Amino acid sequence: MAVMTYREALNMALREEMHRDPSVFVIGEEVGLYEGAYKVTQGLLKEFGAQRVVDTPIAESGFTGVGIGAAMAGLRPVVEMMTFNFALLALDQIVNSAAKMYYMSGGQFNVPIVIRGPGGPAAQLAAQHSQSMETYFYHVPGLKVVRPTTPMDAKGLLKSSIRDDNPVIFIESETLYNVKGEVPEDPDFLIPLGKAIVRREGTDVTVIAYMGMMYRAMEAAEELEKEGISVELVDPRTLRPMDTETIINSVRKTHRVVVVEAGAGFAGMGSEIAASVTEQAFDDLDAPVERVTGSNAPMPYARNLEKLKTPSKDWIVAAVRRVCNANGS
C-alpha cells in the first residue's frame, strides 16, 4: 500500500488501464497538453501520445458523441467532463444514446464508456458549478453511477468502471482531490461496482452517506460516540446499481436510519434509500427514516450562505439524536 491523494489514485487507475488495454483512451477538454483542469490526466499525453489522450474543443455534446461512437466501435473511451455540471450539455448523448443503445439495438451494440469528472458542492463555485449531478443520471435505466469517497475507492472503482461493458457515470469531487489515503499499488486491484462498504461499525443507528458527506458523517459519529450513541456508517460507493443488501443488513442491526446527501432532497438519493428500507425492512424500523439533505435552493456563492445550504456535521448529529430520540438528554 502507498499513501497518495485521491487525484493520484485516479491517475494511477487511468495509467494502469491504458497499459493493460490498448483500446482505452482519454478524451476531453484540456486533458492532454494542460494535463487536466484538476491534473487527473497528468503525464498521460507524454506517456501514451496524442492518439490516446485527445484534447477537444469546448463542445461536450460533440466529444461525448465521439466517445459513444468509439465505444460502439469497440474502444473503451474515458471522457472527462471538466466539471460534471458541463455534462448537462451532453445529456442527450448520454441519456438517449449511451444508456439506450444496447437495448434499442437489440444487443448488437454495447457502450463501454466512462464519463468522469468532479461534481457536487465544492468551495464557492456557485450555483451552476456545485450541483450534485448524480441525481440527473441515476434515474436512467442503462447507466451505472459511481461516487467514490476515498483514494482507494477512486482507484478500484475507476478501474472496474473502465472494464465494465456498460456506460458508467463516474463523479469525483473538487474537495476530495487532495484527500490522502492508502491505495494498493497492485495493478489488478479492483473494487466491484454495486458493492457498498461499512466504514464504521455501530449498534444504534445506520447513517448512509458518500463523498464529502461521508467525511461529515464520520465527524458526527465521533461526536455522538461521546454521548453514547453508536453510529454505523454505510457508504454505497455505487449509487446504481445500489447495494441495498448491505444497507438492509445494517438496518436490521441498528433499527434506525439517517440518509445524508449533499444535493437538494426532493426525489434525491435519500428518498430512494428511505423507500428501499421501508419496503424491505419495515418491521425492523424503530423510527422513521430521517433524511439530511442540502437546502432546496441554488448553491449561493457567498461563503456564509454556502455553509447554510450544505449539510454539516451538526445537521447530521441533530438528525441522529432525533431518530434515537436522545435530544442530548
Partner 1 sequence: MAVTKVVMPKLSDAMESGKIIKWLKKEGDRIQGGDILAEVETDKADVEMEAFGAGVLRKILVPAGETAAIGALIGVIAEPGDDIAALVASAPAPVPAPAGAVSATAPAPRPAAATPSAPPTPVARPAAVVGAPAAVPAGLGQGFQSGRVKASPLAKKIAAQTGVDLRLIQGSGPGGRIIRRDVEAAGSGVTSAIAMPAAAAGAEFEDVPLTQIRAAIARRMPLSKAPVPHFYVTSEVAMDHAWELREQLNTLEGQPKISVNDLVIRACALALLKHPGVNASLQGDAIRVFHRAHIGIAVALEDGLITPVLRDCHAKPLAQIAVEARDLVERARNRKLRAQELSGATFSISNLGMFDVTEFSAIINPPEGAILAVGSVRRVPVVDESGLGVGRRMMLTISCDHRVMDGAMGARFLQDVKRLLEEPLRLLV
CA 315 to chain CA centroid, nearest Å: 21
Q: Does the annotation mark 80 as catalytic?
A: no
Least gap, CB of 293 to partner 1 (angstroms): 20
Choose the stretch contacting partner 1; rule: CB under 8 A; options: 121-129, 145-153, 238-246, 279-287: 279-287
Which helix (H) or strand (E) is 26 found in, with range?
Answer: strand 24-28
Least gap, CB of 285 to partner 1 (angstroms): 5
For residue 56, the number of C-alpha atoms closer than 13 Å in the C-beta half-sphere is 20
Residues touching partner 1, count (CB under 8 A): 12
Select the residue interacting with partner 1 from 107, 108, 283, 303 (CB under 8 A).
283
Q: Does the annotation mark 129 as catalytic?
A: yes
Choose the stretch contacting partner 1; rule: CB under 8 A; options: 92-100, 143-151, 160-168, 285-293: 285-293
Select the residue interacting with partner 1 from 286, 296, 297, 314 (CB under 8 A).
286
CB-CB contact of 117 with 169 (8 Å): no
Least gap, CB of 229 to partner 1 (angstroms): 14
CA 167 to chain CA centroid, nearest Å: 14
Choose the stretch contacting partner 1; rule: CB under 8 A; options: 159-167, 178-186, 262-270, 280-288: 280-288
Beta strands per DSSP E along 175-254? 180-183, 197-200, 205-208, 231-235, 238-240
Residue 322 binds to partner 1 (criterion: CB under 8 A): yes
Query: What DSSP string runs through 46-104?
Result: HHH-TTTEEE--S-HHHHHHHHHHHHHTT-EEEEEPSSGGGGGGGHHIIIIIITTHHHH
Query: What DSSP string runs through 118-161?
Result: E-S--SS-TGGG---THHHHTTSTT-EEE---SHHHHHHHHHHH
Residues 99-128 that bind partner 1 (CB under 8 A): none
Residue 287 binds to partner 1 (criterion: CB under 8 A): yes
Binding mask of the shown chain, residues 184 to 203, with x at each position contacting partner 1 by CB under 8 A:
--------------------
Grid cell, residue 253, equals 442491526
Choose the stretch contacting partner 1; rule: CB under 8 A; options: 63-71, 96-104, 208-216, 281-289: 281-289
Least gap, CB of 257 to partner 1 (angstroms): 12
Catalytic member of 16, 17, 35, 129: 129
Name the DSSP class of 284: G
Binding site for partner 1 (CB under 8 A): 255, 282-287, 322, 325, 327-329
